[in-house]
Copies of this chain bind each other. A is one copy, B any other.
Amino acid sequence: MDTREQIVSTTEKLIITKGYNGFSYQDIADVIGIKKASIHYHFKTKEDLGVAFVQMYHDRFNTWTASVKDKPNLDRLNGFGKLFKIVSNNGKHICPIGMLTSEYKTLPEKVQQKVHDILATMEDWTTELIEDGIRTNIYKPSIDSRLMAKILINSLSYETKTARIFENDNQLDQIFAELKKLIVA
């Protein structure tokens, strides 16, 4: 992993714990053992680094959706749930996009745009997943796909935060199971 990748990777960890406004170039410098000015060499401004991080996260999600696009609907649904389980890391981490969603109003314009984009991508993908499930009679026909997509994403994303507070590492599974009960016919 080269220095640039190390910076973005460290940024992810710091956003999870301290948020975008809460971490500093000095924090990153301390973690990877270089000087603050050297980070400015790789990312001229903090805004540039923020944009690069969210773009990386968006790319990661797109790569994942591409990798499961031919799998059965229920596999994709379970895979989506597992994504949050991995992010949560047994109640130790939270979803960084959830953090940026909270901080949105104070984020630099270009970072806001990127956060807006990944949220839209995730909501659209999940909506299509549920639409597909209804169309193929796997899911309950009474469901509104977009609203259920939001309920699913909101419940799981927010749970990574409360799990960290209550040091509860298994309720994410239970919530996902309860949601599946509501969705699957």
Contact = CB atoms under 8 A, between A and B. Distances in A.
A21 interface: yes
A137 B155 CA distance: 25
Interface in A84-132: 94, 98-99, 101-106, 112, 115-116, 119
Contact of A178 (B104, B106, B144, B178): B144
Nearest to A177: B147
A157 B144 CA distance: 20
A105 B175 contact: no
Interface in A42-62: none
A169 to B, nearest CB: 15
Interface residues of A, number: 44
The prevalent SS among residues of A at the interface is helix
A148 B26 CA distance: 42
Interface stretch (A29-37, A63-71, A159-167): A159-167
Interface string A158-185: 1101101110000100110011011000
B165 A150 contact: no
A127 to B, nearest CB: 13
A102 B105 contact: no
Given A157-B158, A159-B154, A19 B148 contact: no
B155 A116 contact: no
A143 to B, nearest CB: 8
20 contacts: A17-B105, A19-B21, A98-B102, A98-B158, A99-B102, A101-B158, A101-B162, A105-B164, A119-B162, A119-B165, A119-B166, A142-B181, A147-B171, A147-B175, A148-B178, A150-B159, A154-B156, A154-B157, A154-B162, A154-B175
